[in-house]
Structure 1
Amino acid sequence: SDRDLANTVEKGEIARAALAYVPVMAATLILDAGSTTARLAEILPHDRQLTVFTHAVPVASRLAEQPHVELHLLPGRVRRRTLAAVGVDTVQALQRIRADVAFIGTNGISASHGLSTPDHEEAATKSALISAAERVVVLCDSSKIGVDRTMQFAKLSDIDVLITDAQITDGQRAEIESAGVEVVIA
């Protein structure tokens, strides 16, 4: 898709940097929809047992045959644009889950509006993904920093780590870090 092709090199580097946040022991992960999280799914380590929850069909298809992954595909209506399940069923399923780490994508991130997306159902689902995790790692290339979309799904204080590329400005980085977020340059 076009989304998959945009900033391809950066997204691959961001996914590789995210591996540092996969716990060394057996762990439960949540993987959000998106091209960067799909890349992360492809390169998850094979040396540990992982339980992975996702609402994203492309992420699930990359993990379905991995022997070291116990895969849980969350229910809901699949949006054609994102190939991810959204809606009440998705949110309710997430309310019963506790994960060690959630790897989240976003359409926009800013100091004033936090993390945001254009779609209200997507926002509700992403908010539930974040609430289900002990630690939240956001994967996004710098083109999304300073961008506000219609629906906020998290405040900066709701996330722990932002992994992005070197095009982030010093000012953007300082604003995000001042909210208590660790900023990692892939």
Structure 2
Amino acid sequence: MFAEERQRLIAARVAEAGRVSVTELAERFAITTETVRRDLAALEQGGVLRRVHGGAVPAESASTAETTLSERLVQHLPQKLLIAEAAAGLLESSRPGSILVDAGSTTEALVDVMLQRAAHRRNGARQSGGPEQVIITNALPIADKLAASPAHAVHLLGGRIRGLTRAAVGPETVDAVERLRPDLAVVGTNGVHAAFGLSTPDTEEAAVKAAFVRAARRVVVLADASKLGVETLVQFARLDQVDAIVTDASPESDLAAALESAGVEVVKAGPE
């Protein structure tokens, strides 16, 4: 295969997956990692992609780049559904009475699964007679979905609504979170990096996420493979502030080692 054709296929793979590793590309095209790095350098020079540690992401994935919530809802959808199912199982096993749910497309997918499972239990032979589960969120779409659920008591945090993500942000939101001590926080992220930890492009969103992490007794992060190894502009948590991460791919060796060192449980969604 000529280099030009291979580079075209690499660019297509990066655009499709959102993030690819050097190792994956070397195995996919039966070439050395050095050849992959040369291809990635050529594609980066042409503005097609951006190299990151251990791989590459699309060119528009800069530290401050963000997509709208509606765009995120359809990106990596199969992976997010797998993560949502795995996270719902994790929540059911720990049975938290109160949960902080962060804004985002993957956390919204989790809420969809939670509602489906609650409806199934109500319609099944075994009825749930336990107390309502308290859900506290800064996300308008999530609060709206939960509002009619008899299995959940939903509390919407106040603040300025950020149009891009439809999330409440600002000092009012952070202050409200700091007065809480929930059993669990489920947090989304734009990047999970071995050295930089968890990050997101917007400073106000980062402040709310950081408050979620500080407030909860246990923190679970949801991140599809495109977020692994990525750094965005604002750090909101160190890895050692997280209890578990639910993802659809095995982290690269450096990130896997950092997660293990920080005592973070990695829950891989989907088939082994």
Please give the secondary structure, in 2, of the residue aligned with 1:22.
Answer: helix
Q: Larger Cα Rg: Structure 1 or Structure 2?
A: 2
Residue 6 (str. 1) matches residue 75 (str. 2)? yes
- Alpha carbons of structure 1 residues 58 and 175: separation in structure 2 relative to 1, 3 Å: same
Q: What displacement does 1:183 show?
A: 0.6
Which one scores higher on RCO, CA 8 angstroms, separation ≥ 6?
1
Residue 37 (str. 1) matches residue 107 (str. 2)? yes
Q: What displacement does 1:142 show?
A: 1.1
* Higher-strand-fraction structure: 1
- Alpha carbons of structure 1 residues 19 and 75: separation in structure 2 relative to 1, 3 Å: same
Please give the secondary structure, in 2, of the residue aligned with 1:134.
Answer: coil
**Structure 2: distance between partners of 1:25 and 1:35:** 23
Aligned to 2:98: 28
Letter in 2 for 1:36: T
Please give the secondary structure, in 2, of the residue aligned with 1:5.
Answer: coil
Count residues with an aligned counterpart. 186
> Is the 8 Å Cα contact of residues 194 and 254 (structure 2) preserved in structure 1?
no
Residue 85 (str. 1) matches residue 175 (str. 2)? no
Q: What displacement does 1:168 show?
A: 3.2
Regions of 4+ moved over 4 Å: 23-26
Letter in 2 for 1:5: V
* Higher-helix-fraction structure: 2
Q: Taking structure 1 as the reference length, what is the TM-score of the superposition?
A: 0.95
Residue 182 (str. 1) matches residue 272 (str. 2)? no
Residues 137-181 of structure 1, C-alpha deviations (whole Å, 9 max, x = no match) = 000101111111111000000000010012533443233222211
Q: Taking structure 2 as the reference length, what is the TM-score of the superposition?
A: 0.66
CA RMSD for the aligned pairs? Answer: 1.4
Residues 40-63 of structure 1, C-alpha deviations (whole Å, 9 max, x = no match) = 111214245210000001111110
Letter in 2 for 1:28: S
Aligned to 2:238: 155
Q: Structure 1: where are the runs of 5+ without partners?
A: none
Aligned to 2:184: 101
Aligned to 1:118: 201
Aligned to 2:39: none
Q: Structure 2: where are the runs of 5+ without partners?
A: 1-69, 119-127
